[in-house]
């Protein structure tokens, strides 16, 4: 699954902002290889996820929706969206879109009505309360954005506070109100009727809040088993009935899916959203994203999750998205970001589950420095949202094939080497590594659907097996910048081991390896075929 941030993917009309027409023109870059299209080089993903393109005043770059059933003119029209679905499906690419059910823009007509008077019929579509006697907000809930502070804003004309889990321009919908729930379900049906293949459900854990709006504990701790529900502003038990009802809507249509933005930093609680047949099909695992670059830490998360989830549940792994620093920057201690990003690619594409790949990660794009006068996001996320470089600026100008105009956020100053065109013809590039890995996944059943089992090979090397009845791979990832040798012979019965791929572009595939003395270079990952 490839995540597209439409503002930064491809600009079709030269205004410096990506749009649907630009995206359609670049679809061939993404599609799976093979019939009915000739196998020209493509990245080779199965599906794309588009972050919001709805009409929006952009207080939170589209996550403040002012109309759930239209396209913002910056991105095009509903007709352009229909063309996108058609063109994507012709290329065997599924399309999922972002559904933002927890809040609307304060410029949404519903909020305008709701805020017009205390007795407006839409008043109860949002969460309004009187403040405390001393003039303080109704409770101590805080916005997810540190800069915003309290999650409440006082509305002077009607002299009550309204709740916003994010910016004040994003008022929380009241999911206690069945009319809200029904109306938001109809939004799903609108897009399902147009042929979308599913939804990424924004802030799904926020659909369940304490109806009594009790204060959060002063120090919010990550809930551990037994202390479930320490927080009152999200992930309350009432969320699961709402998820079940959403799932029912999806199941009215054949072959559609849900992936939750389940920002719950406890894997047991995360697992609860994945109830087979009733929950979301996939749940983004943010525990994974919050790990340091450590074999033991990352293995711990993967093993922990595999042990917790019900049989038949399918994990969803990702390292980055539009809200988090890019991989090559996040793990750059000691200047090893680029090499580690290659190890991370091998990990992501060989774990059991659906890998989510954020646009630009396939090029090893680092965060881009955004000068203070160009900052537009309230939460420091601009550096991970800068435009995708398509071609070298020396041949197409400073827009690097993303735009002929002025990009809305700065283009990376590394676009001369980090761009799709240059990397496509370089077998040593990050893009070539991703392509190889995606093709291996496609053709090797063990990598796609095989069992997963990790091995004890010390604290610095994360080693695991992926196996079906008749195919077996061993993955060994060195999380340090020193060469290391591990002995995997004890835990793997196998006769022969052959190197299928190394993340080090200088190491050739094909060599026979000895499992009792597996040598890994600094920041190197190996994919080994066993027979
Ligand atoms: C999700 C989105 C993020 C947005 C927030 C509020 O976390 O990924 O970009 O700011 O929800 O909608």
Could you list the pLDDT tens digit for every one of the 531 residues in the chain? 999 999 999 999 999 999 999 999 999 999 987 655 554 578 999 999 999 999 999 999 999 999 999 999 999 999 999 999 999 999 999 999 999 999 999 999 999 999 999 999 999 999 999 999 999 999 999 999 999 999 999 999 999 999 999 999 999 999 999 999 999 999 999 999 999 999 999 999 999 999 999 999 876 665 554 454 578 999 999 999 999 999 999 999 999 999 999 999 999 999 999 988 999 999 999 999 999 999 999 999 999 999 999 888 999 999 999 999 999 999 998 899 999 999 999 999 999 999 999 999 999 999 999 999 999 999 999 999 999 999 999 999 999 999 999 999 999 999 999 999 999 999 999 999 999 999 999 999 999 999 999 999 999 999 999 999 999 999 999 999 999 999 999 888 777 999 999 999 999 999 999 999 999 999 999 999 999
Q: Whose CA is nearest to atom 7 of ligand 1?
A: 203
Residue with tokens 């503002």: 7
Q: Tell me, in angstroms, the distance from the centre of ligand 1 to residue 354's CA.
A: 21
Q: Is the CB of 98 under 6 A from ligand 1?
A: no
Core vs surface per residue 309-321: b (16+ CB within 10 A) or e: beeebebbbbbbb
- 36: preceding bond cis by omega (within 30 degrees): yes
Q: Of the residues 286, 323, 380, 381, which should be mutated to test ligand 1's pocket, given the most ligand atoms within 8 Å of the CB?
A: 323
Look at the chain and count its residues. 531
Burial degree of 512 (CB within 10 A; 0-12, 13-18, 19+) = exposed
Task: Report pTM.
Answer: 0.96
Q: Of the residues 7, 167, 199, 202, which should be mutated to test ligand 1's pocket, given the most ligand atoms within 8 Å of the CB?
A: 202
Backbone phi and psi for residue 249, each to the nearest 5 degrees, phi listed first: -60, -45
Q: Which of 410, 414, 365, 364 minimizes the C-alpha distance to 394?
A: 414
Q: Tell me, in angstroms, the distance from the centre of ligand 1 to residue 323's CA.
A: 7
Atom of ligand 1 nearest to the CA of 323: 9
Atom of ligand 1 nearest to the CA of 381: 9
Q: How far apart are CA 287 and CA 266, in angstroms?
A: 7
Q: How many CB atoms lie within 10 A of CB 495?
A: 7
CA distances from 445 to 199, 204, 466, 468 (A): 26, 32, 9, 7
Q: How far apart are CA 180 and CA 108, in angstroms?
A: 14
- Alpha helix ranges (H) inside 368-467: 393-396, 420-424, 430-443, 445-449
Q: Is the CB of 259 under 6 A from ligand 1?
A: no
Q: Tell me, in angstroms, the distance from the centre of ligand 1 to residue 372's CA.
A: 22
Q: Tell me, in angstroms, the distance from the centre of ligand 1 to residue 260's CA.
A: 12
Task: State the catalytic residues.
Answer: 202, 252
Q: Is the CB of 166 under 6 A from ligand 1?
A: yes
Q: Is the CB of 202 under 6 A from ligand 1?
A: yes
Q: Tell me, in angstroms, the distance from the centre of ligand 1 to residue 61's CA.
A: 9
Q: Tell me, in angstroms, the distance from the centre of ligand 1 to residue 48's CA.
A: 18
Atom of ligand 1 nearest to the CA of 379: 10
Q: Is the CB of 197 under 6 A from ligand 1?
A: no
Q: Which helix (H) or strand (E) holds 307?
A: helix 295-308
Res 182: pLDDT: 98
Atom of ligand 1 nearest to the CA of 145: 10
Q: Is the CB of 203 under 6 A from ligand 1?
A: yes
Res 312: pLDDT: 84
Q: Is the CB of 323 under 6 A from ligand 1?
A: yes
State the maximum Cα–Cα separation within the chain, in Å, rounded to a whole number. Answer: 77
Q: Of the residues 54, 97, 143, 166, which should be mutated to test ligand 1's pocket, given the most ligand atoms within 8 Å of the CB?
A: 166
Q: Are strands 512-513 and 497-502 parallel, antiparallel or unpaired?
A: antiparallel
Q: Tell me, in angstroms, the distance from the centre of ligand 1 to residue 63's CA.
A: 6
- Alpha helix ranges (H) inside 360-464: 393-396, 420-424, 430-443, 445-449
Q: Of the residues 56, 63, 262, which should be mutated to test ligand 1's pocket, given the most ligand atoms within 8 Å of the CB?
A: 63
């Amino acid at each position: 699954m490839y995540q597209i941030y439409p503002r930064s993917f491809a600009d079709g009309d030269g205004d410096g902002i990506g749009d649907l027409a630009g995206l359609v023109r670049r679809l061939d870059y993404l599609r799976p290889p093979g019939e009915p299209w000739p196998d020209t080089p493509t990245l080779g993903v199965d599906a794309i996820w588009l972050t919001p393109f709805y009409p929006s005043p952009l207080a939170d770059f589209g996550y403040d929706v002012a109309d759930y059933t239209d396209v913002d003119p910056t991105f095009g029209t509903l007709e352009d969206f229909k063309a996108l679905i058609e063109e994507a499906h012709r290329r065997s690419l599924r399309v999922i879109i972002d559904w933002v059910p927890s809040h609307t823009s304060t410029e949404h007509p519903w909020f305008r009505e709701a805020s017009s008077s205390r007795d407006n019929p839409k008043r109860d579509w949002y969460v309004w309360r009187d403040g405390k006697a001393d003039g303080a907000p109704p409770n101590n809930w805080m916005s997810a954005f540190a800069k915003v502070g309290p999650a409440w804003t006082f509305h002077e004309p009607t002299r009550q506070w309204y709740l916003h889990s994010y910016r004040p321009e994003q008022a929380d919908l009241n999911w206690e109100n069945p009319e809200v729930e029904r109306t938001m379900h109809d939004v799903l049906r609108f897009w399902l009727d147009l042929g979308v293949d599913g939804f990424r459900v924004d802030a799904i854990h926020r659909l369940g809040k304490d109806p009594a709006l009790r204060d959060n504990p002063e120090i919010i701790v990550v809930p551990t088993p037994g202390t479930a529900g320490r927080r009152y502003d999200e992930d309350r038990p009432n969320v699961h009935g709402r998820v079940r009802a959403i799932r029912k809507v999806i199941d009215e249509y054949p072959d559609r899916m849900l992936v939750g933005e389940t920002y719950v930093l406890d894997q047991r609680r995360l697992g609860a959203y994945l109830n087979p047949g009733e929950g979301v099909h996939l749940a983004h695992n943010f525990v994974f994203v919050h790990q340091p670059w450590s074999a033991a830490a990352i293995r711990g998360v993967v093993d922990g999750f595999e042990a917790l989830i019900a049989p038949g549940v399918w994990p969803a792994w990702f390292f980055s998205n539009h809200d988090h620093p890019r991989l090559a920057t996040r793990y750059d201690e000691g200047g090893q970001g680029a090499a580690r990003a290659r190890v991370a690619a091998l990990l992501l594409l060989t774990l059991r589950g659906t890998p989510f790949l954020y646009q630009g990660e396939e090029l090893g794009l680092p965060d881009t420095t955004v000068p203070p006068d160009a900052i537009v996001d309230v939460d420091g996320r601009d550096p991970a949202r800068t435009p995708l470089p398509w071609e070298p600026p020396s041949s197409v100008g400073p827009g690097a094939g993303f735009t002929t105009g002025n990009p809305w956020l700065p283009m990376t100053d590394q676009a001369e080497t980090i761009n799709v065109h240059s990397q496509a013809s370089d077998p040593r590039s990050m893009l070539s590594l991703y392509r190889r890995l995606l093709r291996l996944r496609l053709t090797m059943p063990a990598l796609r659907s095989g069992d997963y089992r990790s091995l004890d090979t010390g604290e610095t090397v994360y080693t695991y097996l992926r196996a079906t009845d008749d195919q077996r791979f061993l993955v060994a990832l060195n999380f340090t910048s020193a060469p290391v040798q591990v002995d995997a012979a004890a835990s793997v019965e196998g006769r022969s081991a052959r190197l299928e791929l190394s993340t080090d572009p200088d190491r050739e595939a094909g060599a026979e390896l000895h499992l009792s003395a597996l040598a890994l270079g600094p920041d190197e990952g190996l994919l080994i075929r066993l027979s």
